[in-house]
């Protein structure tokens, strides 16, 4: 059985990917979220998700400071332009994308795809078998992105995002590296 990768090592792996394959957008820097990033995260989240679906301050505080999640941030100067929150499940041998968003002024420039490729790479590197997430059925930009990267629908989530707002569970089976 493979050893779980420590949270610190996971974060270093994400940063290493950024330095090796930086997104094609000038002046970006990548960091792991800390509590001091909460205002920037909440600001971006407020413009990306409706208030019922947004995690909000208390959940983000928990995710950053106490949970096993790793939240990767992309900044351009002082502006947070994208975030990705990943939760590895050793029991299920999978990597869950808990949150993903790109700043409205930086959309359709490849950042969403870059963050998804990072997730796929990390799942493979950490020897997890699958990458999975939930998405609103009506969120066509996100669904198209996920389908383009090979994720497939693995389940229906009735009323998951509110009454008559159905969700989909999507999954990508990770092909292990050949040793
Ligand atoms: C979904 C989201 C992350 C996509 O990020 P992005 O940086 O704009 O995506 P990219 O530029 O990397 O696009 C990659 C692919 O996604 C698809 N896509 C992106 N935006 C799209 C749009 N508005 N309509 C249709 N397809 C779209 C396309 O297939 C695109 O490939 P192409 O460039 O070859 O056409 C972004 O729209 C977002 O942050 N939305 C709000 C938050 C959200 O919905 N998060 C997902 C929750 S599950």
146 alpha carbon to ligand 1 midpoint, in Å? Answer: 9
Instruction: Show pLDDT as tens, one digit a residue, over the chain (179 residues).
Output: 566 788 899 999 999 999 999 999 999 999 999 999 999 999 999 999 999 899 999 999 999 999 999 999 999 999 999 999 999 998 889 999 999 999 999 999 999 999 999 999 999 999 999 999 999 999 999 999 999 999 999 999 999 999 999 999 999 999 876 55
The answer to whether the CB of 101 is under 6 A from ligand 1 is: yes
Q: What is the pLDDT of residues 144-168, one digit of tens each?
A: 999 999 999 999 999 999 999 999 9
Note down the domain range covering 59: 7-132
Give me the chain's average pLDDT, please.
94
Work out how many domains the chain is built from and give that number.
Answer: 1
Q: What is the dihedral angle through the alpha carbons of 170, 99, 8, 24, rounded to the nearest 10 degrees? A: 90
The answer to whether the CB of 111 is under 6 A from ligand 1 is: yes
3 alpha carbon to ligand 1 midpoint, in Å? Answer: 34
110 belongs to a structural domain: yes
Atom of ligand 1 nearest to the CA of 142: 1
From the list 107, 168, 122, the residue with the least C-alpha distance to 7 is 122
pLDDT of residue 5: 82
- Give the distance from CA 122 to its chain's centroid: 11
pTM: 0.95
pLDDT of residue 178: 59
* Distance separating alpha carbons of residues 56 and 2, to the nearest angstrom: 35
175 belongs to a structural domain: no
pLDDT of residue 177: 64
- CATH number of residue 117's parent domain: 3.40.630.30
* Orientation angle between helical segments 56-65 and 38-48, nearest 10 degrees: 130
- Tell me whether strands 130-136 and 94-102 are parallel, antiparallel or unpaired: parallel
137 belongs to a structural domain: no
pLDDT of residue 104: 96
38 belongs to a structural domain: yes
Token duo for residue 83: 């975030």
* Distance separating alpha carbons of residues 66 and 41, to the nearest angstrom: 17
163 belongs to a structural domain: no
pLDDT of residue 2: 61
């Amino acid at each position: 059985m493979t050893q779980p990768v420590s949270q610190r090592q996971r974060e270093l792996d994400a940063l290493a990917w950024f330095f090796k394959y930086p997104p094609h957008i000038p002046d970006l820097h990548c960091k792991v979220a800390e509590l001091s990033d909460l205002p920037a995260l909440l600001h971006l989240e407020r413009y990306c998700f409706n208030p019922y679906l947004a995690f909000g301050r208390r959940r983000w505080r928990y995710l950053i400071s106490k949970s096993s999640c790793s939240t990767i941030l992309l900044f351009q100067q002082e502006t947070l332009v994208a975030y990705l929150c990943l939760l590895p499940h050793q029991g299920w041998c999978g990597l869950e994308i808990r949150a993903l968003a790109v700043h409205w002024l930086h959309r359709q420039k490849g950042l969403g795809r870059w963050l998804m490729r990072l997730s796929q790479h990390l799942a493979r590197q950490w020897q997890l078998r699958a990458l999975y997430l939930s998405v609103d059925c009506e969120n066509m930009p996100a669904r198209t992105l996920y389908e383009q990267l090979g994720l497939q629908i693995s389940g229906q989530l009735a009323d998951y995002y509110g009454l008559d707002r159905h969700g989909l569970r999507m999954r990508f089976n990770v092909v292990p590296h050949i040793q």
